[in-house]
């Protein structure tokens, strides 16, 4: 069943629902950095909770969230069950409402905020300032987190939305070094959340329009980069073992029989440039910052985010378990912290292209 947003246009938000918003941090499992894990489905949510997440983040089954893919996200029944399960284990629930509404669809995003509060989420993750304004005025007790889609890479931007809308946490884009993150933390009262593991993007998060050129739909308003309806897999009759992947008719990649085909996104495609065919923008690889945990903890990062609402419950379970162990070890004895080989081996198995990188955290050109 698809969640009916229309039913909440005149909903009376109960005192009980509001009291659940902004759950006190004392209910969290650890005193150190919080572990924020993806929940693209109810099984993924329970996997995150069971394996040690402090926070889980979910989305409604429509374009109000930036992972609007068929088979993902939550309808009314699964949302109620997921929030109940998380809260019964003292895990906070964050609702991603992190796409940008347009004038013709503004009311859908407003109703999504109403639903999030009515169902008892602990915070909403927002990028659009109009939606921040609506939520902060109508529900002043509701915690607001600035989404990575907001593209705030400096403390001036973060303090701007803090002063006007009272955001309590900001998720930083995956383009900053350790020194730059420390600079942000030193100049803002807002909690800072940084990505620890998962997919990377070389594009400015929240501003990427690359896939819209091929599909006609912006991921920032429709919620899906490389929507499934625009994806095509084709086998050449002359060379049947070759598999082509296309997005909106654009050839993204060509795989031989011994290659594992990845999901077609323009930034991770192989293209011909000056007679060479290679990953011209970005290779399929995953960010993995396990080795940087002591530094991230020392500079004051409050939460580590795991990317992957589009990934399976088994992925969520494995990655959550590894990062729970790592964060606990770092919080207990940071001076003795060392990355265990079994942690790295486990994460490499589920990484894109089975390879990991430190991304912008390690800049050899500086």
In order, the DSSP letters of 106-141 are HHHHHHHHHHHHHHT-SEEEE--HHHHHHHHHH-TT
Residue 84 covered by a domain = yes
For the stretch 141-160, pLDDT in tens is 999 999 999 999 999 999 99
- 191 found inside a domain: yes
Q: In which band, very low, low, confident or very high, does the pLDDT at 261 lie, cut at 50, 70 and 90?
A: confident
At 299 the pLDDT is 96
pLDDT for 22: 45
Is pLDDT of 3 > 60? no
pLDDT of residue 80: 96
Whole-model pTM: value is 0.86
The angle at the Cα of 159, spanning 359 to 184, to the nearest 5 degrees, equals: 35
pLDDT number for residue 355: 76
Residue 233 lies in a domain: yes
Q: pLDDT at position 18, please?
A: 45
Q: What is the dihedral of CA 205, 209, 212, 218, to 10 degrees?
A: 60
Burial class (CB in 10 A: 0-12, 13-18, 19+), 35: buried
| Confidence at residue 11, expressed as pLDDT on a 0 to 100 scale | 37
363 pLDDT more than 80: no
SS3 for 299?
A: helix
Top pLDDT among 1 and 266 is at 266
pLDDT at position 5, please? 46
Q: At 62, is the pLDDT very low, low, confident or very high (cuts 50, 70, 90)?
A: very high
Phi, psi of 325 (to 5 degrees): -60, -40
For residue 289, what pLDDT is reported?
93
Considering 249, 278, 307, which residue would you say is the last residue of a domain?
Answer: 278
pLDDT tens, residue by residue, 108-138: 999 999 999 999 999 999 999 999 999 999 9
Q: Indicate the average pLDDT of the chain.
A: 87
How far is residue 89's CA from residue 23's CA, in Å, rounded to a whole number?
A: 13
pLDDT digits (tens, 9 = 90+) for 19-37: 434 444 334 444 579 999 9
Counting beta carbons within 10 angstroms of the beta carbon of residue 130, is it exposed (0 to 12), middle (13 to 18) or buried (19 or more)? middle
243 shares its domain with 139: no
* pLDDT of 172 strictly over 90: yes
Give the pLDDT of residue 279: 85
Do residue 291 and residue 156 come from a single domain?
A: yes
Query: From CA 131, how far away is CA 116, in angstroms rounded?
Result: 13
Q: Can you give the length of the chain in residues?
A: 366
Grade residue 192 by pLDDT with cuts at 50, 70 and 90.
very high
In a domain, 205, yes or no: no
Residue 76: which domain range? 6-200+285-361
d(CA 261, CA 243): 8
Q: What confidence score (pLDDT) does residue 166 get? A: 97
Q: Which helix (H) or strand (E) holds 232?
A: strand 231-235
Contact 306, 35 (CB under 8 A): yes
> Residue 282: how many CB atoms within 10 A of its CB?
18
Statement to judge: residues 119 and 136 lie in one domain:
yes
List, for residues 321-356, the tens digit of each pLDDT value. 999 999 999 999 999 999 999 999 999 999 877 777
Query: Do 190 and 320 fall into the same domain?
Result: yes
Query: d(Cα 315, Cα 320) in Å, to the nearest integer?
Result: 8
Quote the pLDDT of residue 136: 98
Determine which helix (DSSP H) or strand (DSSP E) holds 42, and give its type and residue range: helix 42-50
Which of 38-52, 190-204, 315-329, 339-353 shows the lowest per-residue confidence on average (mean pLDDT)? Answer: 190-204
* pLDDT (mean) for 270-284: 85
User: Residue 293: which CATH number?
Assistant: 3.20.20.70
Q: Which of 73-87, 193-207, 339-353 has the lowest mean pLDDT?
A: 193-207
For residue 239, pLDDT beyond 80: no
pLDDT of 227: 79
Query: Taking 60 as the threshold, does the pLDDT of residue 88 lie above it?
Result: yes
Which of 278, 301, 322 lies at the terminal end of a domain, its last residue? Answer: 278
Same domain, 23 and 43: yes
Residues 238 and 180 in one domain: no
Domains held by the chain: number: 2
Residues 102, 221: contact at Cβ < 8 Å?
Answer: yes
């Amino acid at each position: 069943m698809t969640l009916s947003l229309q039913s909440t246009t005149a909903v009376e938000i109960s005192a009980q629902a509001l009291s659940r918003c902004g759950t006190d941090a004392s209910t969290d499992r650890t005193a150190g950095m919080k572990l924020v894990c993806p929940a693209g489905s109810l099984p993924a949510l329970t996997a995150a909770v069971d394996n040690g997440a402090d926070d889980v983040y979910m989305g409604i089954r429509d374009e109000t969230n930036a992972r609007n893919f068929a088979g993902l996200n939550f309808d009314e029944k699964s949302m109620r069950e997921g929030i109940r399960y998380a809260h019964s284990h003292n895990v906070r629930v964050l609702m991603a409402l992190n796409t940008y509404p347009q004038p013709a669809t503004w009311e859908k995003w407003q109703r999504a905020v109403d639903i999030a509060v009515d169902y008892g989420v602990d915070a909403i993750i927002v990028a659009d300032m109009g939606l921040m304004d609506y939520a902060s005025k109508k529900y002043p007790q509701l915690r607001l987190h600035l989404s990575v889609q907001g593209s705030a890479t400096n403390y001036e931007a973060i303090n701007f939305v803090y002063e006007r809308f009272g955001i309590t946490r900001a998720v930083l884009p995956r383009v900053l070094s350790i020194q730059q993150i420390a600079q942000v933390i030193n100049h803002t009262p807002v909690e800072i959340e940084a990505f620890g593991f998962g997919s990377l993007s070389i594009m400015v998060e929240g501003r990427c329009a690359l896939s819209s050129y091929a599909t006609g739909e912006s991921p920032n308003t429709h919620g899906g980069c490389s929507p499934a309806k625009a994806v095509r897999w084709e086998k050449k009759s002359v060379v049947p073992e070759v598999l082509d992947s296309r997005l909106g008719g654009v050839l993204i990649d060509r795989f031989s029989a011994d290659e594992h085909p990845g999901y077609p996104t323009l930034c991770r495609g192989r293209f011909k440039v000056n007679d060479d065919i290679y990953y011209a923008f970005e290779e399929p690889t995953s960010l993995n910052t396990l080795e940087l945990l002591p530094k991230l903890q020392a500079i004051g990062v409050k939460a580590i985010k795991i990317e992957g609402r589009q990934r399976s419950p088994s992925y969520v379970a494995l990655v959550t378990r590894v990062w729970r162990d790592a964060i606990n070890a770092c919080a207990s004895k940071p001076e003795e912290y060392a990355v265990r080989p079994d942690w790295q081996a486990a994460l490499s198995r589920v990484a894109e292209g089975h390879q990991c990188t430190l991304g912008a955290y390690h800049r050899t050109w500086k």
